[in-house]
Amino acid sequence: MKFLLVTVFIDMLGLGLIVPILPALMTAVTTDPAAAVLWSGVLGSTYGLLQFVLSPLLGRVSDRYGRRPVLLVSLTCLGVDWLAHAAASGPWTLLLFHALAGACAGTNTVVNAYVADVTEPAGRARAYGRIGAAFGLGFVAGPTLGGLLGAVDVRLPFLAAAVLCFANAAYGWLILPESRPGDRTTPLTLRTANPVTAITVVLRRPVLGRLTWARLCADVSRMIHQSVWSFFLAVQFAWTTAHIGAVMAAGALAGALFQARAVAPIVRRLGDRRSAIAGNLIGVISLTVTAVATTPWMLYTAQAIGVTASFGGAAAQSWISRNIRVSEQGTVQGALTGVGAIAEACVPVTAGVAFASLIAYGSPALIFVGAALFAAAGTILLATVPEPDRA
């Protein structure tokens, strides 16, 4: 767990570095703000498409050969992608390397399976909460540092992100132990590697299938927010990259502290099921407030509400892991990553087109109404899961 927390922190620190500066880079590469939004969506969708195709295979490989090699390859490919962002002079080069990173994107799959390997079911919500806190702490330093580096040179944050990824991979190579020796009897065939087959098998299971649909709704909502958030702040409130980075860092710090301290007692009191439902419902409220925000203080309020929703994700992940056998953690987590990749493939470009249209009509905040509707659908699905949570 200690290594995983460090790994996730460094991984998200690298990602946080580039988030506030991405609009400026894409504008520099495409020379047009509208084209920058659309290309950003295309890059995100391509990454998600390749992740959808190959994440079930990566999960299966981690069940057969172990978690460690999959995680190290994923981190290395992400570092190569950030180097390409730092050096590229056109969007097509970015598209090529971002597709490679998507094909190797197994970090989420391996981390979730690894946590399930090394923790007892009763302690998983707390463990996933700690992972979420490490994600948040990475975003505390990342956006602030990215905004400052971006003020010097728009490509400098991408070089820093690449260095962090390679350092993380080297750290893992030297220190990371294997959580579960691979089981060479796990079949690895074209059928088991097929993403459609892997996801269909998960969806056919009564409880796990409903949880997976809820997870998809949550991922769509999250990706809508993530895809347009920096652009929204720049367009609606004319914030600078440093301002955007500072606000994101403040929200990430609050979220990390909340997840580190509050997830365990909340889930212990409410259980996985009720915690997941309550967290999703609070997320709906946060997105709704964002959609009607007319002042920065309303945005800050929405962000504060969203921070308190973070326990729902850890509870939902724990709930899911309780419905998976030990021998199939990697396989099912890979399928779940594939489900999330569907959102990553479809949402960025769709949200980019919708957001560009809403800018033309002077109502960019309406994009968050769509995010709130998907979050509400996920809440309803969680509330109608046919069985109570149980090991």
Please give the Cα distance from 345 to 47 (Å, whole number).
7
pLDDT band at 183 (very low <50, low <70, confident <90, very high): low
What integer is the mean pLDDT of 249-253? 76
What integer is the mean pLDDT of 52-74? 80
Domains of the chain (ranges plus CATH)?
A: 2-174+190-383 (1.20.1250.20)
Taking the mean position of all CA atoms in its chain, how far away is CA 274? 23
What six digits make up the tokens of 74?
């994923």
Please give the Cα distance from 46 to 198 (Å, whole number).
20
Highest mean pLDDT among 36-45, 250-259, 300-309: 300-309
On the CB side of 12, CA atoms within 13 Å amount to 23
pLDDT of amino acid 284: 94
Q: Is the pLDDT of residue 352 over 90?
A: no
Please give the Cα distance from 220 to 378 (Å, whole number).
10
pLDDT band at 220 (very low <50, low <70, confident <90, very high): very high
Q: Is the pLDDT of residue 390 over 70?
A: no
pLDDT of amino acid 96: 83
What integer is the mean pLDDT of 193-210? 81
What six digits make up the tokens of 109?
């799959």
Contacts of 342 (CB under 8 A, 6+ apart): 48, 52, 216, 219
pLDDT band at 185 (very low <50, low <70, confident <90, very high): low
Higher-pLDDT residue of 150 and 19 is 150
Q: Is the pLDDT of residue 387 over 60?
A: no
Three-class SS string for the chain? CHHHHHHHHHHHHHHHHHCCCHHHHHHHHHCCHHHHHHHHHHHHHHHHHHHHHHHHHHHHHHHHHCHHHHHHHHHHHHHHHHHHHHHCCCHHHHHHHHHHHHHCCCHHHHHHHHHHHHCCHHHHHHHHHHHHHHHHHHHHHHHHHHHHHHHHCCCHHHHHHHHHHHHHHHHHHHHCCCCCCCCCCCCCCHHHHCHHHHHHHHHCCHHHHHHHHHHHHHHHHHHHHHHHHHHHHHHHHCCCHHHHHHHHHHHHHHHHHHHHHHHHHHHHHHHHHHHHHHHHHHHHHHHHHHHHCCCHHHHHHHHHHHHHCCHHHHHHHHHHHHCCCHHHHHHHHHHHHHHHHHHHHHHHHHHHHHHHHHHHCCCHHHHHHHHHHHHHHHHHHHHCCCCCCCC
Q: Is the pLDDT of residue 288 over 90?
A: yes
Q: Is the pLDDT of residue 358 over 50?
A: yes
